[in-house]
């Protein structure tokens, strides 16, 4: 079974429980910029307590590994938990939607795309840039995240809504990282 099949299966499970989602992270940056290899998918989700419980309890019977305790803790703290496709080894980081201004803006702006044969909502190029820069800051300047941002800037070029990126770069205090990948004029 391929990554495409694993993605299709998790999206079907989320759909069956009514949990909205958004592809983010490295797969989103690969769609918008320079592709890179990764063994996991980052999916931002916004479940109710009941829909998350239903999802977590249904997955083991479908060939998935998931910890119900980790999922409940992630819901409480608005963090993440992992789901692993036991058939393929593909890992899905299910990230609970944060309630801060940037996360909510990113969520509202998501776009529906075809990803490896599955229709799924994806973070925009601009939001992926801002999220990757913020993660780089949190990780002490992660070169991997900065390379992902550089790839998006290189591929998307003039298509990018730089005013949007600039606004969030200022608000989140990540101007120095943005300047490293896009130059001082952004």
CA nearest neighbour of 172 among 78, 80, 101: 101
**Do 116 and 141 lie in a common domain?**
no
Under the banding of pLDDT at 50, 70 and 90, the label for residue 148 is: very high
Beta bridge partners of 42: 24, 93
The predicted model gives 122-131 an average pLDDT of: 98
123 has a pLDDT exceeding 60: yes
**Do 36 and 116 lie in a common domain?**
yes
Radius of gyration, alpha carbons of the chain: 17
**Do 51 and 89 lie in a common domain?**
yes
Residue 129 in contact with residue 156, Cβ under 8 Å? no
21 has a pLDDT exceeding 90: yes
Domain of residue 48, CATH code: 3.30.460.40
The predicted model gives 3-16 an average pLDDT of: 94
**Do 115 and 135 lie in a common domain?**
no
Q: Report the sign of the C-alpha dihedral through residues 44, 48, 49, 50, in that order.
A: negative
pTM for this predicted structure: 0.93
**Do 9 and 56 lie in a common domain?**
yes
**Do 49 and 95 lie in a common domain?**
yes
Q: Is 129 left (phi over 0), alpha (psi -120 to 50) or beta?
A: alpha
**Do 119 and 131 lie in a common domain?**
no
Q: What's the domain count of the chain?
A: 2
Q: Which structural domain, as residue segments, surrounds residue 176?
A: 126-182
**Do 21 and 113 lie in a common domain?**
yes
Determine the pLDDT at residue 184. Answer: 59
**Do 7 and 56 lie in a common domain?**
yes
Tell me what percent of the chain is helix, strand and coil, each rounded to the nearest 5.
55, 20, 25
Q: Give the angle 31-90-52 at the CA atoms, nearest 5°.
A: 90
**Do 78 and 95 lie in a common domain?**
yes
| Cβ count within 10 A of residue 11 | 21
**Do 131 and 119 lie in a common domain?**
no
Beta bridge partners of 121: 112
CA nearest neighbour of 145 among 37, 26, 41: 26
Q: Report the sign of the C-alpha dihedral through residues 179, 98, 118, 40, in that order.
A: positive
pLDDT in tens, 23-82: 999 999 999 999 988 889 999 999 999 999 999 999 988 899 999 999 999 999 999 999
Under the banding of pLDDT at 50, 70 and 90, the label for residue 185 is: low
18 has a pLDDT exceeding 90: yes
**Do 115 and 149 lie in a common domain?**
no
The predicted model gives 135-143 an average pLDDT of: 84
Parallel, antiparallel, or unpaired for β 80-85 and 64-66?
antiparallel
The predicted model gives 102-122 an average pLDDT of: 96
């Amino acid at each position: 079974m391929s990554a495409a099949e694993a993605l299709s299966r998790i999206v079907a499970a989320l759909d069956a429980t009514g949990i909205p989602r958004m592809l983010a992270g490295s797969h989103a940056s690969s769609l918008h910029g320079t592709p890179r290899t990764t063994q996991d998918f980052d999916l931002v989700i916004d479940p109710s307590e009941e829909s998350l419980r239903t999802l977590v309890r249904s997955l083991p019977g479908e060939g998935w590994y998931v910890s119900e305790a980790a999922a409940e803790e992630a819901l409480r703290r608005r963090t993440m938990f992992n789901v692993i496709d036991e058939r393929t080894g593909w890992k899905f980081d299910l990230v609970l939607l944060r309630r801060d201004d940037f996360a909510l803006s990113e969520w509202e702006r998501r776009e529906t795309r075809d990803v490896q044969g599955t229709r799924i909502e994806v973070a925009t190029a601009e939001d992926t840039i801002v999220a990757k820069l913020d993660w780089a800051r949190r990780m002490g300047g992660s070169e991997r995240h900065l390379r992902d941002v550089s790839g998006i800037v290189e591929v998307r070029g003039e298509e990018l809504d730089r005013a949007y990126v600039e606004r969030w770069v200022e608000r989140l205090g990540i101007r120095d990282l943005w300047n490293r990948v896009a130059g001082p004029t952004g």
